[in-house]
Amino acid sequence: MKILELYSKDETKNLKVGLCVLLMIVLAVFTVAVSKKDITHKDGGKYYKVYARYNRTDGLLVGDLVRLSGMDIGRVVNAKLDSNFKAILTLELNDNIKIPDDSSAAIVSSGIMGKKYIEIEPGGSEDMLTEGSEFAYTQDAMVIEELIERIIGIGKAKRQDKKGEK
């Protein structure tokens, strides 16, 4: 540590603190880079792609889960807009899970402020979705702000009705 002997105690202390901060920043950047959502499946299984078309997908991102009966069966792997400005999501589903072609795909969240995912509600058809199929029935994401506005609007309307009755 002869290099540090060239500096005063304050300079040595500042240098050590600076190096520690630099190390933490490097570790933070590395952690973020490594932990970025990996949209590939880690189990090495086979998957098939299907599509779902939505008017709005608020809060749902590429890499988010696709679930059936609370079990993870796939991921959202791509999102794009069609010519009518509707979102087309590409979903990769586990090849072992066969889904009736009249099933619905709803964007839901795990709690009020929870993460969004796609929940598949199976239909009763004997025909199954295959590679490249599209869900016939979808349900858009519910936006909390709009829900609160509706509740407030209902409350105001009821208040107006009570004032009119008097």
- 53 band by pLDDT with thresholds 50, 70 and 90: very high
CA distance readout (Å), 130 to 73, 96, 119, 135, 152: 15, 12, 18, 11, 44
Verify that 6 and 26 share a domain, yes or no.
Answer: yes
- 77 band by pLDDT with thresholds 50, 70 and 90: very high
Verify that 54 and 26 share a domain, yes or no.
Answer: no
Closest CA to 51 of 24, 27, 81, 15: 81
Rounded Cα distance, 63 and 107, in Å: 14
Provide the β-strand partners of residue 121.
104
CA distance readout (Å), 162 to 11, 149, 154, 158: 74, 20, 12, 6
Please write the tens of the pLDDT for every residue from 38-49.
555 556 679 999
Better pLDDT: 99 or 32: 99
24-28, 66-70, 82-86, 89-93: which range is least confident on average? 24-28
Query: CB within 8 A of 121, min separation 6: which ones?
Result: 103, 104, 105, 106
What's the domain count of the chain?
2
Verify that 60 and 89 share a domain, yes or no.
Answer: yes
Strand runs labelled E in 55-113: 65-68, 71-81, 87-94, 104-109
Please write the tens of the pLDDT for every residue from 111-149.
767 788 999 999 999 999 999 999 989 988 877 777 788
**pTM across the whole model:** 0.64
Q: Is residue 108 part of a domain?
A: yes
Verify that 137 and 65 share a domain, yes or no.
Answer: yes
Give the pLDDT confidence score for residue 43 in this predicted structure.
Answer: 60
Give the pLDDT confidence score for residue 104 in this predicted structure.
Answer: 94
Verify that 75 and 131 share a domain, yes or no.
Answer: yes
Q: Which domain holds residue 79?
A: 47-147
Q: Is residue 42 part of a domain?
A: no
